[in-house]
Structure 1
Amino acid sequence: MLYCKKIKILIISTTRFELDGITNVILNYYRAMDKSDLIIDFVIPNDIRNDLKIELESFGSRIYKISGRSKKPFIYVKKLKMLIEENKYQVVHAHGNSCTLALEMSAAKKGGAIVRIPHSHNSKNKFKLVHRMLRRTFNSHYTHAFACGQLAGEWLFQEKPFEIINNGIDVSRYKFNVVTREQYRNKYNLNEKIVIGHIGHFTFQKNHDFLIDVFAELYKVNNRYQLLLIGGGDLRKTIEEKVKFLGLSDAVIFAGKSLEVPQLMQAMDMIIMPSRFEGLPLSLVEAQTACLPCYVSDAVSKEVGLTDLVNFISLSKSSKEWATIINESVLRDRNQLVNKINNQIISAGYSITENATVMKDLYKSYYSTQLNSH
C-alpha cells in the first residue's frame, strides 16, 4: 500500500508531562522518529514547560491540555473524543499503567480512530478496584498493545497479545565519560565522595523512605558516602524532613528535576533503587549505559538486568543488610567497562535510533491493516 497522506497520530500521556519516567520515554521516541510522513500531536494533563513546547511545535506538533482525568472522567472522555473526531486522528497511542486506559481507548473508538494503542509502563497500580472494574471495557476498546517489558505487558493485557517496545535511549548521551565525570564532581564538591544516585519521583512506589534508611546505614560505616537525589514529587518534603532528623543534611543533595541527568550519572559511583514495584525503568537502562553498578529491589522487573551491573536485593532484607551488600561490593573501573557495556545495551535492543524505526513501522503496519479491514 502507498502512503500518500501523512498519518495523524495522537500521543496521550495519562501521567504528568515532566522531565522523568513516561515523559522521557515519549520524548526519546518522538525525537528519534522520522516524522516526515507523520503528524504527531499530544494530549497532556498539565501545563507544559516552555522549552518543551517550543521544541515540539518546531516539528509542527500541537499540544492540548486536557485535565480532570481522575476527578471528572466523563467530561475528560467527552473532550478527548471531540478532539480526536475534529482532527481526524487515525492512530491514538496512550501511555499509562492500568485499565483506566479504558478512558482513552473509549474516547478514541468513539472519536473514529481506527488504531488504538494502550502502552503499559508498570507491573502494578494503586487503583486496584477501578483497574478491575474497567477491565472489560478496556479489553473491548483497544486494537493493538504495547508494553515496556514482559512483566508490564502481562500485568495489563493478561493472556492477550502485546508488542514489547523497549525503553530505548540515545546511548551516546549516557556513555561513560571521564572528563564529564571530573567536571560534575568538581561542580558539586564530590571529589572525595562515594556518590550514590537515585533518579525518580518522590512517590510511594519509589520507596525513598527505605532508601534513606539504607543510606544512613552506609554513612555510619563510611562518611565518604554521599546521596544525590534527582526528581520532584509530593513526598520530597517528607524525605527532606527525615534526612534532617537523622542529621544527614550535609550528606544528601536534593538536586530536584534536572536537564543534566546524563552528566550527573557520570558523577555518580552507583545507583540504588529500592522500588516497591516497577515495570522496566528507563533510568536503569541509562545507568547501565553509564557503567554504574545498580542495586535494585527484587520488585523491579528482572528484564532490566541487561548487564552484570544490576544486583537484585530482596525488599524483605533490612536496610542494614542492604547496606552491607552494597558496602562490600567492589567498584569496578568504568573506563575498562565502557565498550563492552555499550555493545551489550545496543545488542539487547535499547538503542532509540533502531527502536524508533520499529515503532514507526508498527504504526504504519497497524494503520494499513485496519484501513483494509474497514
Structure 2
Amino acid sequence: MKNKKTKILHFSIANSGGGITKYALRIWDAIDKEQFQCDFATMSKKLDFAPQLENQGCKIHYISTYSEQDPIKFEEEINRILDYGYDVLHLHTSWWRGFAVEEIAKKRGVPKVIVHSHNTDVHIPIGMTREEARELHYTWQKKVTEDIATDFWACAKKAADWLYGRNIPKERLKIMPNAIELKKYYFNEDVRLKYREEMGLKDQFVIGMIARFQYQKNHEFAIELFKKLNEKKSNAILLLVGIGELREEIEKTVQKYHLESKVKFLGLRNDIENLLQAMDLFILPSRFEGLPLTLVEAQASGLKSITSEFVTEESEITNDIKRLPLDLDLWEGEALRWGNGYKREDTRKIMRDKGFDIKFQIKEIEKLYRYVENSK
C-alpha cells in the first residue's frame, strides 16, 4: 500500500503574482509530488494561473471575505477548507490583524501550523490608514505566544522581529531565505541579445523594476530617478513589470514628464528570468521589505542592482547589489557607473553557498513539513 501523501495548504496567494505567491508556487514546483500535495487558498476573485495548478492536481480555495469584515462567514469558509484534511497549514503573513486562522486550525487539530513572516511593515491596509494598521499590528504582536502555531519562520531576521517581536524564543525561529530555481536565472548572453533585439533595446541602457504598483515599492522614486538619468543618458529606457492599484497614478506622472516613449509598462509577465537578462540595471527603491524574490533573481543573473537601505541586509547576496538611502543624487551616481556596460559575473557558487537554491532548500522544507508533531 502506498504511503499517504502529506497535504499542505498555502494560505494565501494572490493574482498579483507578488513575492509570497511566487514563493509558495516555487515550493510546489520543487517539492516531491510522490510524497506531498500542495493546495492553495486565495482572497483574489480569480487566479489567472488557476488552470495550470488544477491540471497538476492542486485544489484552489476561494475565500470571499476577510475575518475583520465578516468573522462568522470567514470561519465557516475556513472550516470548509479544513474539511479536506490538511496535515500542514502554511500561513504566509505580512502583518498581524488577528489570529483567526491560527485559532480555527488549532480547534480543528491541524497537526502543523507554520506562520511565515515575509515583510517588515504593513503591506496593504484595508479600510484604514497605514498608521492605524501599524497600531493594529503592534497590538496583536504583543499577544503573540508560542501556542498560536507549531512553527515560526521568516525570510530574514528583520522580518522575524517585525512579526514576532520578542515573544518567540530564538531557538523556535527558522530563517528561511527566499530560494529560487537558480539555473533559470544564470546569465545567458544568447537570451540577452535575442530579447534586446526583439524588444527594440539593442543599443539602450535598460533599467528595470519588477514590483507591484503600491506604496511599499515606491515607484514614485523610480520615476524621479529615471527623469534625472534620462537627462544624462539619452539612450536610457525604464521597464516597469507588474500590476497594482497605483499604476494609473504612475502613468500620469510619466506623462507629466513627457517620458511615455522611454518608460515601458509591461504588466504581469511569465518570462522574468529572460527580462532580467535584457536589463543593464535593476532598481527597487522600496520603503520597506522582507527579502524580495526579485532581488534574489536579479543577483542570480549577475545584474547590477540598487535597492533602498530599508531592504533587509540579507538581500546583499553578491557584490552586484548596493543598498542606499533614498537620495536621488546617490542613486543617480551609482546608476551612471553601469551605463556603459560591464561583464556579468557567474553567481552559481555564491548563490548556492548562501542557501538560495530551491533544489537544496526544498529538502529541508520537506523534512519540516513531514514532521507534523509539535516539537516544542
Give TM-score, length-normalised by structure 2: 0.90
1:31 is aligned to: 29
The C-alpha deviation readout for 1:22-51, integer Å capped at 9, x for no partner, is: 11111111110002122322111113435x
The C-alpha deviation readout for 1:207-234, integer Å capped at 9, x for no partner, is: 0001100111111111111100000000
1:117 is aligned to: 114
The C-alpha deviation readout for 1:153-172, integer Å capped at 9, x for no partner, is: 12112231311111111111
Distance 1:172 1:75 in 2: 46
Structure 1 stretches of 4+ moved >3 Å:
47-50, 328-331
Distance 2:216 2:82 in 1: 36
Distance 1:62 1:137 in 2: 33
Sort the Cα spacing of 1:70 and 1:194 in 2 relative to 1 into closer, same or farther, 3 A: farther
Distance 2:363 2:149 in 1: 22
Distance 2:278 2:98 in 1: 38
| Matches for 1:89-108 after TM superposition, within 5 Å | 89-100=86-97, 102-108=99-105
Say which SS state the counterpart of residue 249 (structure 1) adopts. Answer: coil
What is the aligned counterpart of 2:160 among 153, 162, 185?
153
Distance 1:77 1:132 in 2: 23
Distance 1:40 1:222 in 2: 47
| Matches for 1:1-374 after TM superposition, within 5 Å | 4-13=3-12, 16-50=14-48, 52-69=49-66, 72-75=69-72, 77-100=74-97, 102-125=99-122, 126=130, 127-135=133-141, 137-139=143-145, 140-159=147-166, 160=168, 161-315=172-326, 317=327, 319-329=328-338, 331-334=341-344, 337-338=345-346, 341-365=347-371, 367=372, 369-370=373-374
Aligned-residue offset at 1:138: 4.3
Distance 1:137 1:110 in 2: 18
Question: Percentage identity across aligned positions?
Answer: 31
Runs (5+) with no aligned partner, structure 2: 123-129
Asked if structure 1 preserves the Cα contact closer than 8 Å seen for 2:141 and 2:165, the reply is no
CA RMSD of aligned residues (A): 2.0
Richer in helix (by share): 1
Say which SS state the counterpart of residue 244 (structure 2) adopts. Answer: coil
Q: Give the residue type in structure 2 aligned to 1:151.
A: K
Q: Give the residue type in structure 2 aligned to 1:321.
A: L
Asked if structure 2 preserves the Cα contact closer than 8 Å seen for 1:105 and 1:138, the reply is no
Aligned-residue offset at 1:106: 1.7
Deviates further, 275-284 or 136-145: 136-145
Give TM-score, length-normalised by structure 1: 0.91
Runs (5+) with no aligned partner, structure 1: none
Aligned-residue offset at 1:110: 2.2
Distance 2:19 2:321 in 1: 19
Say which SS state the counterpart of residue 100 (structure 1) adopts. Answer: coil
Aligned-residue offset at 1:150: 1.3
Sort the Cα spacing of 1:137 and 1:36 in 2 relative to 1 into closer, same or farther, 3 A: farther
Aligned-residue offset at 1:101: 5.9
2:126 is aligned to: none
The C-alpha deviation readout for 1:260-280, integer Å capped at 9, x for no partner, is: 111111110010111000000
The C-alpha deviation readout for 1:281-339, integer Å capped at 9, x for no partner, is: 00000000111000111000011101000111112x2x2332123213474211xx12x
Sort the Cα spacing of 1:73 and 1:102 in 2 relative to 1 into closer, same or farther, 3 A: farther
Sort the Cα spacing of 1:185 and 1:208 in 2 relative to 1 into closer, same or farther, 3 A: same
The C-alpha deviation readout for 1:121-147, integer Å capped at 9, x for no partner, is: 001114212212323554342121111
Distance 2:260 2:80 in 1: 48
Aligned-residue offset at 1:84: 4.6
Deviates further, 128-137 or 106-115: 128-137
Q: Give the residue type in structure 2 aligned to 1:25.
A: Y
The C-alpha deviation readout for 1:332-373, integer Å capped at 9, x for no partner, is: 211xx12xx1211111111111111111100112x0x33x99
Aligned-residue offset at 1:87: 2.0
Sort the Cα spacing of 1:69 and 1:20 in 2 relative to 1 into closer, same or farther, 3 A: same
Deviates further, 152-161 or 177-186: 152-161
Q: Give the residue type in structure 1 aligned to 2:64.
A: S
Asked if structure 1 preserves the Cα contact closer than 8 Å seen for 2:144 and 2:164, the reply is no
Aligned-residue offset at 1:71: 5.2
Asked if structure 2 preserves the Cα contact closer than 8 Å seen for 1:77 and 1:106, the reply is no
Sort the Cα spacing of 1:182 and 1:113 in 2 relative to 1 into closer, same or farther, 3 A: same
Say which SS state the counterpart of residue 189 (structure 1) adopts. Answer: coil
Deviates further, 274-283 or 20-29: 20-29
Asked if structure 2 preserves the Cα contact closer than 8 Å seen for 1:66 and 1:76, the reply is no
Distance 2:165 2:264 in 1: 41
Distance 1:65 1:49 in 2: 9
